[in-house]
Structure 1
Amino acid sequence: MFKSKKGGSSEAARDHASIALASGFLAVPVSISPAKTSKKADEVTHWVYVRKHVSSGASSAVASTSKLTEAAQLPAERTLFMANLPVDTTESHLRNIFAKAGNISSIRFRRTASADDEDEHEEKGQGEDSTDDEEEHHQLVQAKGKRNKGVQKKSRVPRVEALPSLDPREAMGSQALLTTSSSAHIVFLEPSSLVRALELLQSGIRWTDPFRSLRRQASKQTDTPPARATTSASFLLSAGAGIPPVGLELLLGQYSACRPELSEVQAWADSRVALYQYRRAHPLPRKIGVRGVTVGPTGELLDEDGFIIVQRSGKYGRAGAAADAGGSVGVAKHDFKPNTKNKGEGLEDFYRFQMRERKRQQLADLRAKFEADKQKVASLKAGRRFKPY
């Protein structure tokens, strides 16, 4: 019995040990237990892949500015890279796991773009993010001519009333669920903390719930009336701290978030209409374009002082511009030939019977021409015949 237990314990330890992979990666098993039970038989194993962060632009002599900024924010000697994180991973999870390794400076998540995010980015209208530019232009216009008075009115650019978030986790101030294959960079305060974290990952990690105390306290408060806050969990709940929803609670929250109140939708629609009307009434200078006063001898636009207005144009002039504004200038090459073919005529030899008729007509014309030539030759011969009398 003792040997079997020893063998079983060694096998379990071997199953939960990390595996060294190529490129310095380490496959670490993560034991995750369901929220409603703590039995080891119900645990599932999730694999994450970690390694020491390697800066790609640190050794390059001509590294770009973005790479230099990334190297400054993610120092290689203090940064741990983790990939294939569970979807419900939050910053609290990672800080709780590496609490024994040392203090963490910052955590940066990197999510993979989902199909919904790409569709939302494509459906986003052009110019929806230009409110700040419009406000800056409006302030400059109002400030012009009023510097002596020292009075500047507030911007009248209408602000769009945002709709409530469709993610209940983001609505309560928590982090949204990650997409699959998401990763994170964990920056420690000291390089020794990174070494201890790698040693801690050698034997695998257990996924702990950082909101367990809040869940227990919330269940107690539902059973009994809320009492005076005596613990940190009860104090956080009394201060308004919430627990990020998961599972069925998350789905119910999404269902409710997708059906906002009519007053909120009305406020958003009114603000969008007000912003559209403001943009129509106050176009930006770059949207107005250049308007010439007169036209030069060669067709160039001239301003009020008679100077030529330099305009951006393509190969054949400013396509799409109004004729009275000097646009749509036609440029013809030396070998340019206008298309004089009538587009209303039908296509030749479109049908097979048309081809046969054309060939038959050509043969008939050749025969008629041949007969005419024979008669012409005969008349010429008759004219050249010798007549002694």
Structure 2
Amino acid sequence: MKLHRLIDPVLGLERRLSPRRGPASGVLLISAGGLGDTVLFSLVLPRFMELARPGESVTVLLRSDGARMSFVFPSGVLVRKVDFGRLRQPGYRRRTLADLHRANYRLVVSADFLRHPDLDEALAVACAAPETAAMVPRPWPKHDRRLKANARRWSRLFESGDVRQDKVVRLARFADFLTGRVVPPPRVALPPERMPPATALTAPTVIIQPFSAVKAKQSPPALYRRIIAALPRDWRVRIAGHASDLDRNPDYRPLLDLPGVSFEPAPFAELAGLLRSARLVVSVDTACMHLAAATGVPTLCLASAAYVGEIVPYAADIHPDNLTVLWHPMECQGCLGDCRLPPVESMYPCVAALNEAEVMTALRRVTEEARS
């Protein structure tokens, strides 16, 4: 048994013996997804904020990486960051769980369908809140026994339906369950007051985000070279990413030698302002795409089929008009990245099968719309 699981009973006893001041108060919402998940969660966040009583604070607990996208949250929301990569380290685990216990929240809600018993569920348990709520978790053979045992720790459990279901729609239905009000799920669009101001640009600009944390989701540099060549000559191109993206993908560096092309390393809070001023965004299905779609900029997404039915493309009733998603249908679509097929030139087969002619046709259409 791993060390953190051995010490958890001791840490739990230590917390129970620690006094807490005053009555429980405040709402803690746990959203343990990544950057893109944080954008999508933000769309439904106002619904969950309704759970706070007058005078209570609302805090969202995020993974430390996902917290970089918290600038899209409504004003007044508090953010608590947890480094999930360190949460199995005894010292960090003890401090983090003790801090949550001392916070003395009245209500703790897990907004995640996919949960881990040692991570986000352990955080919720440590709060020892008088009221707790969660969705019945996604089946996970490795952890199902412990997840089912943890069901007794939740005051309210919501059976959210099919395993494959649009993430925003699922969250909206969970909010319906908790608030007692049935409201249509929100379209993927942020209100202007929750976006950074648009950044002034000196020329018509296209933002291209070709990189993904999952390299197999990336389309080849040759396709992006064709895309750049097809853009109007007076348009400029910024390839967005972190400097480490170029280190991990040196075959994309020659794109920066093309006329009018530069690298854009701005963090997401700054990139959002650039996206608002851009004529067009071309992106793999990653956090940049979700942010671009939500800010309203014309966006062309070159997607895998891995998240069809759950994330990309979005459900028809929430899909924004500014987003075009291209993906290749597969019998195995919706695998959530658990691809069992051999890669094709280091790509998922569904990514390798994207039709270049279809991509270029879609590019011409969105470019003409962006010029008008």
Q: TM-score, normalised by structure 1?
A: 0.19
Q: TM-score, normalised by structure 2?
A: 0.19
